[in-house]
Amino acid sequence: MNHPIKFDYVYRNRDEAGSILHEVVTLDEIQTDEFVYDLEILARRLSTGRQDMHGADIFDGDILEYVSPIEDELPRDSYVVEWRGHGFYAAWLKNGSPQYQGMDGLIGADEDMQIVGNVIEHPELLEAKS
């Protein structure tokens, strides 16, 4: 089976002041002059190949929030997605810092995790989440 490799490019259009944009593209699309013309690349984020509970693709640097199947009974812990060693993991955020002991893989993220932002566009999420 051949799966396309997806990247989330975060960029600022040099013709527009201040706004940060992003676009999900495949490796084939990146290799065209049209994609990078007049853009200031801010980040390249690799797709994990997984999706959250709403069907959104999860990328390196995304902040995920655990959503309990039992409404309001468990706290909404947050995690940052990172490449560690040989795969993507969700490191629990405690006081804004990733905790690498007891990291979770992303298996099951499609059942009980949702993306609430990413560290590129919303770095304040690292400080805000505990």
Q: Where are the alpha helices (DSSP H) in the chain?
A: 27-30, 33-36, 109-112, 124-128
| pTM, 2 dp | 0.71
- Mean pLDDT score of the chain: 78
Top pLDDT among 123 and 18 is at 123
Q: What is the mean pLDDT of residues 12-22?
A: 70
Measured in residues, the chain has a length of: 130
Q: Which domains does the chain have, with CATH numbers?
A: 6-128 (2.30.30.290)
pLDDT of residue 107: 80
pLDDT in tens, 51-82: 999 999 999 999 999 887 776 666 678 899 98
Strand order in the sheet with 39-51: 20-26, 6-13, 39-51, 57-59
